[in-house]
Structure 1
Amino acid sequence: MLTIDVAVLLAVVVFFRLRRRTEARSRSDERMTVVIVPALDILNGPTPAGQGILNAFEEPASGVTEAGR
């Protein structure tokens, strides 16, 4: 069974987004990165808000995992 850790997935997304050269980024691309990085922090933090967001992301991910069976 394949499981997806949302925090790890977001970390990979942030890594690839920040690898790009600054000149190649648009304003919307930079704004999206600014939204994703705090979301990653919330997911990694053991806070009730982080757990709620994690649960919200886990439900669709588990649906996709079950659909792939």
Structure 2
Amino acid sequence: MTFIRPFEREAVSEIILFPQGNAAKVARTMDTEQDAKMKIMRPLMDCQMGKYYGESLSNPKVLVGK
């Protein structure tokens, strides 16, 4: 992932699927280095990324079809 605002930064993100019968449990990770500015922004980023992850997983059949 490449972030442009508020600070230019790159991160490695993974989507991990854990099969559970006819369904799957989904886990997402994001790994990036954080300096002092990023640590201050962390709570806001966690909130925004949580919303994004939730929205993107609300209908996984749409994502799989793309």
Q: TM-score per shorter chain, which class?
A: 0.3 to 0.5
Q: Which has the higher contact order (CA 8 A, sep 6+)?
A: 1
Question: TM (normalized to structure 1)?
Answer: 0.34
Question: TM (normalized to structure 2)?
Answer: 0.35
Higher helix proportion (structure 1 or 2): 1
Higher strand proportion (structure 1 or 2): 2
